[in-house]
Amino acid sequence: MKLLSKAALDIIEQLNLCGHEAYAVGGCTRDMLMGRENHDTDITTSATPEEIKEAFSALRTVDTGIKHGTVTVISEGIPFEVTTYRTEKGYSDGRHPDEVTFTSSLTEDLKRRDFTVNSIAYCPHKGFVDPFGGREDIEGRIIRCVGNPEERFTEDSLRILRGLRFASVLGFGIEKKTADAMRNCKELLGIVSKERIFSELSKLLCGENVKDILINYSDILEVVLPEIKGMKGFNQHNYHHIYDILEHTAVVTESIEAVPHLRFAALFHDCGKTECFSRDENGTGHFYSHPSISAAKAEEALLRLKSDTGTREAVVKLVKVHDTPIEESERIIKRRLRSMGEELFFDLIKLQRADTKGLAPEFHSREAHFDTLEKMARQIIADEECFSLKELKIDGNDLINEGFIGREIGNALSSALDAVIDGKIQNKKEELLAFCIKNK
């Protein structure tokens, strides 16, 4: 079992010395019991906000949410949220309580929390306090709401996504009543801020159990990701595929590195297939133009979810070219490195490798091809071969000195780089200038 940090234990001890109860609570205690690393420790206490500040008068404190009982205490440079035991009433906006009342009861405080696995408290003197069976659910690997599931989701509909995220990240199943309530309340996700939805989806997609969540709870996810509608049960009628579009997508998402932009690229890479399906005279299914359609849908989704620009741009670029083969040719690899940049080129190989794992087994042998591509690209980079303008031995100033102006400069540099990549000229200043002047 993982132990709390010394700084967290010191906060609990100081509150105890001042005559107050104090416990670590929430995700940190769950992770303690599971032997998982946790970098955030929340403290709940019988002390009022004023008493919390008095107990830590020697430390820096911040009134993070003092109206709701939360004071942030900075100990050893680490911020800890310390919150008074409280009960909550009324959730008119479907996210936040209208009324918060402080209480002296730890059990009452734990009762307001979302899932049993997050409703376990711990302090060194009393051990674990678990009135709602959270330890049993951890052992059974189950996500279960505290109390009435529909009440929990009506209070805060983001909890629906949080539940799916916990199931994905922890590798847990979802208890039937909780799952049923998620489905009954799923439309309430429409009132949650897009930023919060994007944050939860980013974590959900990076979970170890993401494949099962995508397949078994797609009807819920469709509320926030309409781009995946119609994928479940869509027979691809193609010998490359043994899965429907959703199952294929889930396998690819699970198979790629757990980094948000890669997982989003995997999620969206085939989302346009339902719009461009056709069958030839033999009955074989085809999806012409699906990469560009999928890329447009991915961009629309990530703009709607208010994704950061870096993630959105990377996902759109990867989805747009995910189905374009890369030959084992230095010239072709250099052109891809030029157009995508080094980092995104290797991300594309990761996406194509994962895409292969979602095909029929006889196509899995393409792994060797991706190994070769990666090896060749890394050798090109290690040898400092020219594949971008920054490696070119001339620049705009050299061309200005030769009388080039305006767009002529960029066009000439681009043409010279193409000629170097194609092996028509060497990357030497004299040759490059002569080429540019000749083709001006």
Mean pLDDT, the chain, integer? 95
Q: Give yes or no for residue 111 having a pLDDT over 90.
A: yes
Vertex 12, ends 9 and 15: CA angle to 5°? Answer: 145
Give the separation between CA 89 and CA 70, rounded to whole angstroms: 17
For residues 319-335, give the mean pLDDT: 96
For residues 226-232, give the mean pLDDT: 96
Q: Give yes or no for residue 93 having a pLDDT over 70.
A: no
Q: What end-to-end distance do the CA atoms of the chain give, in Å? A: 71
Q: Lowest-confidence range among 93-102, 202-211, 331-340?
A: 93-102
pLDDT the model gives residue 37: 84
Q: How far is CA 56 from CA 13, 31, 52, 308, in A?
A: 11, 27, 6, 37
Q: Give yes or no for residue 95 having a pLDDT over 90.
A: no
pLDDT the model gives residue 54: 96
Q: pTM score, two decimals? A: 0.91
- Residue type (1 letter), 67: K
Q: Lowest-confidence range among 61-65, 111-115, 120-124?
A: 61-65
Give the separation between CA 28 and CA 32, rounded to whole angstroms: 6
For residues 374-400, give the mean pLDDT: 95
Full 3-state SS string of the chain: CCCCCHHHHHHHHHHHHCCCCEEEECHHHHHHHHCCCCCCCEEEECCCHHHHHHHCCCCEEEEEEHHHCEEEEEECCEEEEEEECEEEECCCCCCCCCEEEECCCHHHHHHCCCEHHHCCEEECCCEEECCCCHHHHHHHCEECECCCHHHHHHHCCHHHHHHHHHHHHHCCEECHHHHHHHHHHHHHHHHCCHHHHHHHHHHHHCCCCHHHHHHHCHHHHCCCCHHHCCCCCCCCCCCCCCCCHHHHHHHHHHHCCCCHHHHHHHHHCCCCHHHCCEECCCCCEECCCHHHHHHHHHHHHHHHCCCCHHHHHHHHHHHHHCCCCCCCCHHHHHHHHHHHCHHHHHHHHHHHHHHHHCCCHHHHHHHHHHHHHHHHHHHHHHCCCCCCHHHCCCCHHHHHHCCCCCHHHHHHHHHHHHHHHCCCCCCCHHHHHHHHHHCC
Hey, what's the torsion of the CAs at 177, 183, 188, 190, to 10 degrees?
150
Burial class for 352, CB neighbours closer than 10 Å (0-12, 13-18, 19+): buried
For residues 135-152, give the mean pLDDT: 97
Residue that wins the pLDDT comparison between 365 and 389 = 389
Q: What pLDDT, in 10s, does the model give residues 173-196?
A: 999 999 999 999 999 999 999 999
Find where tokens 């681009």 sit. 414
Q: Give yes or no for residue 255 having a pLDDT over 70.
A: yes
Burial class for 220, CB neighbours closer than 10 Å (0-12, 13-18, 19+): buried
Q: What pLDDT, in 10s, does the model give residues 29-53?
A: 999 999 988 778 999 999 999 999 9
Q: Give yes or no for residue 104 having a pLDDT over 90.
A: yes
Q: Please determine, looking at this structure, whether the domain spanning 1-135 carries the CATH number 3.40.50.150.
A: no
pLDDT the model gives residue 399: 95
pLDDT the model gives residue 69: 92
* pLDDT interval class at 364 (50, 70, 90): confident
Q: What pLDDT, in 10s, does the model give residues 393-408?
A: 999 999 999 999 999 9
* pLDDT interval class at 145 (50, 70, 90): very high
pLDDT the model gives residue 57: 95
For residues 294-311, give the mean pLDDT: 98
Q: Which of 221, 281, 278, 224 is nearest to 249 (CA)?
A: 221
* pLDDT interval class at 379 (50, 70, 90): very high
For residues 359-365, give the mean pLDDT: 86
Task: Name the CATH architecture for the domain at 141-224.
Answer: Orthogonal Bundle (1.10)
For residues 126-154, give the mean pLDDT: 96
Q: Give yes or no for residue 82 having a pLDDT over 80.
A: yes
Q: What pLDDT, in 10s, does the model give residues 269-293?
A: 999 999 999 999 999 999 999 999 9
